[in-house]
Amino acid sequence: MNLDEFKEARTRGREELLNKIIEVFGRLKPIAIYQFGSGATTYKDEFSDLDIWFAFADEKIESVVKNQNNVFKKIAPVLVKHQSKSWSPPGGSATLIIHKTKFGLFQIDYYISKSSNTVIKPQAKLLYGKDVFRRGEWILDKDAKESNTLRRDVSLLLSLIFIGIKGVLRRWKGPEFDNTIKLVHKRLRNSYSQKIKGRRIKLSFKLIYRLLADLHFLSNKSQERAIDEISQYAKVVESLYANKF
């Protein structure tokens, strides 16, 4: 596969995923589905992810959240799943999924909200249903406490590593993303210091491969498969975009 074919596959795969998300969640009869982030206007590039907000009637939200993992699997196979309480709408959920598709790996950020807590970002685009919600800053349960288990922290770091691949290509310069990786990596080292090496955290493909190798010592079987898939994806991207470095 050459670079043009890779870009075309990512663009097509993202569009097919978006259509599948609308189809699968549409069967659950949400009040509305919105897309926000760069995809609501113009995608930054072939690595732009999908950020999707689902608004459900209050009386349906509990059953939707309870069954959401089965819904995600109907969209495409789930390689990595990371759920965050502090980024969730109150009474709803926020889940980052890395899906594996025939076009490659794709990150989707799913936000599920009950209608009474739904405020939609001004630039968000309606994909399905009725555009009846107030525009403004979204309401999230920022004070919710996260449960930092080994499985959750490994999934979080895997998600950050995957996001970091596009960060390398986009030449992210600020310290924010590096600091986030450093925080999660430090938490893992503090708990499992004999299995995790100290690393100088500066975003690069070399760092990505080293962190993935570290995680092999802490991962369960499904996470090990994710490590192998993300490592292979990173190698393909590094090879195709070698002239950027």
Return d(Cα 87, Cα 121) in angstroms, integer: 15
Q: How far apart are CA 66 and CA 111, in angstroms?
A: 14
Please give the pLDDT value at position 43. 92
For residues 80 and 120, state if they share a domain: yes
Query: Do 125 and 232 reside in the same domain of the chain?
Result: no
pLDDT tens readout for residues 171-199: 998 899 999 999 999 988 888 766 788 88
In this prediction, residues 162-173 reach a mean pLDDT of: 95
* pLDDT, greater one: 110 or 187: 110
- Model confidence, pTM: 0.95
Mean pLDDT score, 134-138: 94
pLDDT of residue 243 exceeding 90: no
* Statement to judge: residues 120 and 157 lie in one domain: no
3-state secondary structure of 232: helix
**Token pair belonging to 26:** 């549409």
pLDDT digits (tens, 9 = 90+) for 3-55: 999 999 999 999 999 999 999 999 999 999 999 998 989 899 999 999 999 99
**What pLDDT sits at residue 196?**
82
Cβ(106)–Cβ(19) under 8 Å?
no
So what's the pLDDT on residue 86?
93
pLDDT at 225: 97
The CATH code of the domain that includes 64 is 3.30.460.10
Q: Is residue 136 in a domain?
A: no
Beta strands, E only, the chain: 32-36, 50-56, 78-83, 93-101, 104-114, 125-129
* Predicted confidence (pLDDT) at residue 142 exceeds the cutoff of 80: yes
Q: Which of these three, 129, 162, 182, is where a domain ends? A: 129
Please give the pLDDT value at position 245: 60
- Do 121 and 165 fall into the same domain? no
Residues 125 and 155 in one domain: no
**pLDDT, tens digit (0-9, with 9 covering 90-100), for 197-229:** 888 999 999 999 999 999 988 899 999 999 999
Q: Are residues 160 and 83 in the same domain?
A: no
Model confidence pLDDT, tens digit, residues 55-83: 999 999 999 999 999 999 999 999 999 99
Share of residues in the chain with pLDDT > 90 (%): 83
Across all residues in the chain, what is the average pLDDT? 94
User: Domain for residue 85, yes or no?
Assistant: yes
Domain count, the chain: 2
Its domain, for residue 224, covers: 150-244
